[in-house]
Amino acid sequence: QASQEELKAAYRRLCMLYHPDKHRDPELKTQAERLFNLVHQAYEVLSDPQTRAIYDIYGRRGLEMEGWEVVERKRTAAEIREEFERLQREREERRLQQRTNPKGTISVGIDATDLFDRYDEEYEDVPGSGFPQIEINKMHISQSIEAPLTATDTAILSGNLSTQNGNGGGSINLALRRVTSAKGWGELEFGAGDLHGPLFGLKIFRNLTPRCFITTNCALQFSSRGVRPGLTTVLARNLDKNTMGYLQWRWGIQSAMNTSIVRDTKTSHFTVALQLGIPHSFMMVSYQHKFQDEDQTRVKGSLKAGFFGTIVEYGAERKISRHSVLGATVSVGVPQGVSLKIKLNRASQTYFFPVHLTDQLLPSAVFYATVGPLVIYFAMHRLVIKPYLRAQKERELEKQRENTASDILQKKQEAEAAVRLMQESVRRIIEAEEARMGLIIVNAWYGKFVNDNSRKNEKVKVIDVTVPLQCLVKDSKLILTEASKAGLPGFYDPCVGEEKSLKVLYQFRGVLHQVMSADNEALRIPKQCKCHRLPSFF
């Protein structure tokens, strides 16, 4: 976003710094010529609106190849950007054609009631009765894929298989969805299964206002008993920025009316719902707290009461890798008993393991269902997950360093050359700043700092940037914008792929100050407030 005047000012400043005629030493003169030519090339590109537009869009490669082809067809910067957006849309459409967006769920139900509900008298003489019997009593597998046909049409193929206590079945469905406008879409569904006959459905979504939408789903299920029609309508409205209200009416085999309010913020998720229907009527309240940590930890609890009884659930979930989230929930209910539900989300796949522990309300079952997963998780996290993630990160960083080694070496040589060429200019700047009791950079370091005791084994990787930072001081001010500081004159990246900071110890009006700034954080010194000022004993 720099203006032409800002570009010219920066160009003149760097030309004065790197002009070959200002350096008598042959080695410095050679280094100055190389850096001066780089500055001149950069200014030639950025001062011309056409080449600047190409560079902004395509980078350096665009100037060498496809960028010039665009210039031959389009003359103004606006037209170049328009052409680029058109090409981007075409690439997005091609990418859309290749995307299938698979989603799947695998659920394995486990009956572990023999752990707590054993009858020793009856099984006393049965061989092997000393070991509790844990069985898999139900399984469910579902999968769906999407096949974009055009920019507005999508085909969705889905299927599922289920089995419980030796009996099971499956079904397959095909849906065709069309986006009719920016306000809505429609979907036709066809399905068949071995337990039910053919299914025909129609689903319509429509935005009524910017804050309100409606979804209607009509279905006809054919079976040996005849045709079973069904209708579901959901009306939703934004009550405020973070709150949605829903009204649902369902007519058919299980008719019901449901109303719910959902509030979702950065730190919490709250839901309250009320349903009146056949065969189930209930009221439900749930709350989830979102911790703002690196692992995206969440704890949740809910209470559900109705004609079927009362269920209390509590649990937590946590991110264990870049694409995986692990969660566990304890369910305590009357007359349902105690269950432990373990869920693993891996990208678009979900693995669900409900473990039924007992049909009774036993404190021992509640205790082991709560404590057991916590002990196993923390042991696995410390012994397996954490070392694996650390090793994976190291491999990625090592690979990134190898790929950028030659480029970083060149940047390092350019930075060191720039620092040598800055010495005379920095000497004059310091003399001028000392005369006016202005801004003097005492020391400055850039790179990876280790201040946390938990990371004391990690190596500090910093470079001294005192000279290049002093060179950027103008009229007793230093202003750095929101961008990586590795691109500043005299800087380079000492630790590729790792978190970096800039630490500055400076003197202003004869008083020492210190500040630590993140790599992409804007920095302006001196500060009007005294937040950078060091205590007087320094």
Q: Are residues 242 and 146 in the same domain?
A: yes
* Backbone angle region of 490, left / alpha / beta, with phi > 0 → left and psi within -120 to 50 → alpha: left
Average of per-residue pLDDT across 485-512: 88
446 lies in some domain: yes
Q: Are residues 168 and 224 in the same domain?
A: yes
Question: CA-based Rg of the chain, rounded to a whole angstrom?
Answer: 33
Instruction: Estimate to the nearest angstrom the gap between the alpha carbon of 380 and the chain centroid.
Output: 24
Considering 276-280, 311-315, 436-440, the range whose residues carry the highest mean pLDDT is: 311-315
- Which residues lie below 8 Å from residue 22, measured CB to CB, with a gap of 6+? 16, 32, 424
- In angstroms, the CA 74 to CA 79 distance is 6
Confidence (pLDDT) at 66: 46
- Which residues lie below 8 Å from residue 396, measured CB to CB, with a gap of 6+? 497
pLDDT, tens digit, 9 for 90 and up, residues 186-229? 999 999 987 778 999 999 999 999 899 999 999 998 887 788 89
Q: What are phi and psi of 5, to 5 degrees?
A: -65, -40
204 lies in some domain: yes
Q: Are residues 160 and 60 in the same domain?
A: no
Whether the per-residue pLDDT at 130 is higher than 70: the answer is: no
Give the pLDDT band of residue 67 (cuts 50, 70, 90). Answer: very low
- What integer best gives the mean pLDDT of the chain? 85
Tokens of 508: 């202003």
Q: Are residues 210 and 337 in the same domain?
A: yes
83 lies in some domain: no
Q: Which residues pair with 250 in a beta bridge?
A: 232, 256
Whether the per-residue pLDDT at 125 is higher than 60: the answer is: no
Whether the per-residue pLDDT at 183 is higher than 70: the answer is: yes
Average of per-residue pLDDT across 271-296: 91
Of the ranges 16-25, 296-305, 324-333, which one carries the lowest mean pLDDT score? Answer: 16-25
CATH number at residue 366: 2.40.160.40
Confidence (pLDDT) at 291: 92
- Which residues lie below 8 Å from residue 459, measured CB to CB, with a gap of 6+? 448, 450
88 lies in some domain: no
Whether the per-residue pLDDT at 120 is higher than 60: the answer is: no
- In angstroms, the CA 421 to CA 439 distance is 21
Confidence (pLDDT) at 84: 67
Q: Which of 344, 368, 395 marks a domain boundary?
A: 395
Q: Biggest alpha carbon distance in the chain? A: 103
- In angstroms, the CA 265 to CA 296 distance is 14
Q: Which residues pair with 222 in a beta bridge?
A: 227
Q: Are residues 390 and 422 in the same domain?
A: no
Task: Say which DSSP state 30 is in.
Answer: H
DSSP3 helix / strand / coil % (the chain, rounded to 5): 30, 40, 25
* Strand ranges across the sheet with 461-464: 461-464, 439-448, 501-508, 511-518
Q: Which of 368, 395, 422 marks a domain boundary?
A: 395
Tokens of 215: 């979804």
Q: Are residues 147 and 195 in the same domain?
A: yes
Whether the per-residue pLDDT at 75 is higher than 60: the answer is: no
DSSP assignment string, 113-135: GGGTS--TTTTTTSTTTTS---E
Task: Say which DSSP state 362 is in.
Answer: -
- Which residues lie below 8 Å from residue 109, measured CB to CB, with a gap of 6+? 136, 137, 138, 139, 164, 353, 354, 356
Using alpha carbons only, give the angle 147, 153, 154 rounded to the nearest 5 degrees: 25
Average of per-residue pLDDT across 407-433: 87
Q: In which domain, by residue range, is 46 found?
A: 1-65
- In angstroms, the CA 468 to CA 268 distance is 46
pLDDT, tens digit, 9 for 90 and up, residues 350-369? 999 999 999 888 999 999 99
Whether the per-residue pLDDT at 458 is higher than 70: the answer is: no
Confidence (pLDDT) at 443: 93
Cα end-to-end distance, the chain, whole Å: 41
As a whole-number percent, the residues of the chain with pLDDT over 90 amount to 39
Q: Are residues 145 and 14 in the same domain?
A: no
Whether the per-residue pLDDT at 454 is higher than 70: the answer is: no
Residue 215 three-state SS: strand
Confidence (pLDDT) at 284: 96
- In angstroms, the CA 324 to CA 114 distance is 32
Average of per-residue pLDDT across 49-59: 77
Q: Are residues 254 and 325 in the same domain?
A: yes
Confidence (pLDDT) at 314: 96
Confidence (pLDDT) at 280: 82
Residue carrying the six token digits 């290049």: 468
Would you call 526 exposed, middle or buried from its count of C-beta atoms within 10 A (0-12, 13-18, 19+)? buried
Q: Are residues 253 and 375 in the same domain?
A: yes
The DSSP element (H or E) to which 427 belongs, if any, is helix 386-435
Residue carrying the six token digits 């491999």: 395
- In angstroms, the CA 14 to CA 22 distance is 12
Report the relative pairing of strands 282-290 and 103-111 from DSSP bridges: unpaired
75 lies in some domain: no
C-alpha distance from residue 334 to each of 258, 310, 518 (Å)? 23, 5, 54
380 lies in some domain: yes
- Reported for 114-117, long-range contacts at CB under 8 A and 24+ positions apart, including other chains, are 115/357, 115/358, 115/365, 116/338, 116/357, 116/358, 116/360, 116/362, 116/364, 116/365, 117/358, 117/359, 117/360
Whether the per-residue pLDDT at 345 is higher than 50: the answer is: yes
Confidence (pLDDT) at 457: 55
CATH number at residue 17: 1.10.287.110
Q: Which of 395, 427, 446 marks a domain boundary?
A: 395
Of the ranges 182-191, 200-209, 404-413, 526-535, which one carries the lowest mean pLDDT score? Answer: 526-535
Report the relative pairing of strands 184-193 and 199-209 from DSSP bridges: antiparallel
Q: Are residues 339 and 467 in the same domain?
A: no
Q: Are residues 391 and 468 in the same domain?
A: no
As a whole-number percent, the residues of the chain with pLDDT over 70 amount to 87
- In angstroms, the CA 265 to CA 261 distance is 13
Residue 49 and residue 76 in contact, taking contact as beta carbons nearer than 8 Å: yes
pLDDT, tens digit, 9 for 90 and up, residues 3-45? 888 888 888 888 888 888 877 788 888 888 888 888 998 998 8
CB atoms within 10 A of CB 99: 11
Whether the per-residue pLDDT at 123 is higher than 70: the answer is: no
Whether the per-residue pLDDT at 76 is higher than 70: the answer is: no
pTM (2 decimals)?
0.64
Task: Say which DSSP state 487 is in.
Answer: G
The DSSP element (H or E) to which 155 belongs, if any, is strand 153-164
Is the four-CA dihedral 302, 305, 306, 311 of positive or negative sign?
Answer: positive
220 lies in some domain: yes
Residue carrying the six token digits 């537009």: 53
Q: Are residues 380 and 483 in the same domain?
A: no
- In angstroms, the CA 525 to CA 73 distance is 46
CB atoms within 10 A of CB 91: 10
Tokens of 153: 């049409």
- If one compares 150 and 300, the residue with the highest pLDDT of the two is 300
How many structural domains are present in the chain? 3
- My answer on whether omega of the bond before 468 falls inside 30° of 0, hence cis, is no
